[in-house]
Amino acid sequence: MGNVRRPSIRRVIASAALGSVALAACGGGGNDANGTPGAPPTGESDDAGITVEQTAGDSETAGIVAGFAEVFAAATPLDGVPFDVASLDGTDAVVWFWAPWCTICRGEAPEVAEIAKRYSGRVQFVGVAGRGELDAMQEFVEDTGAGTLTHLADLDGSIWSAFGVFGQPAYAFIDNSGTVDVFVGGLGGNALADRIDDLLAT
């Protein structure tokens, strides 16, 4: 990508009070099902009980396309329709990271689909499946009714790695300037909607 700068990424990890059960149930650090290593980042706990880490990056960015075009382009769309990463540039977006065997991901999927429908036209949603086989990912989408979202199969883990995601479920909230906040852990429908409202307000 030459001298192109990636958007800044801020990771927010569910704490013991808010989401350690989610991380334990669906996997955190260590090697994933495809053998890709991952480890939780270190950080400081704020007053709300959330661990936050600011990764290196430049907040002045041209947008999401400049930083992540290559990894999105390499992913396999589950519906067979090529994904146009340019559609993420200059808009608010939510990237939902899930795994087909993750029970929490499965439980959240209908709510994610409903929230995506509610915010249609204002926020773009993209599901990124990893740590599993392609057929299991397709079955997950069919079983959970989440087929209204665009889903990409991140078979080599490159998108997860680019966003610093080490466990699932996780969410990347991308504002229209290209700044990314990553939350690792489960989010119920109301909490997800609240975060999207915050995203739209920036």
81-90, 113-122, 193-202: the lowest-pLDDT one: 81-90
Q: Which domains does the chain have, with CATH numbers?
A: 23-29+48-178+187-201 (3.40.30.10)
Of residues 151, 142, 5, the one with CA closest to residue 69: 5
Taking CA atoms, 197 is separated from 17, 96, 191, in Å, by 23, 16, 10
Higher local confidence (pLDDT), 70 or 182: 182
At 121, give phi and psi (nearest 5°): 90, -15
The mean per-residue pLDDT over the stretch 23-52 comes to 37
Q: Look at the block and give the residue holding tokens 């989401």.
A: 19
pLDDT at 173: 93
Across all residues in the chain, what is the average pLDDT? 74
Type and span of the H or E element at 163: helix 158-163
Instruction: Specify whether the CB–CB gap between 55 and 9 falls below 8 A.
Output: yes
Of residues 178, 163, 199, the one with CA closest to residue 62: 178
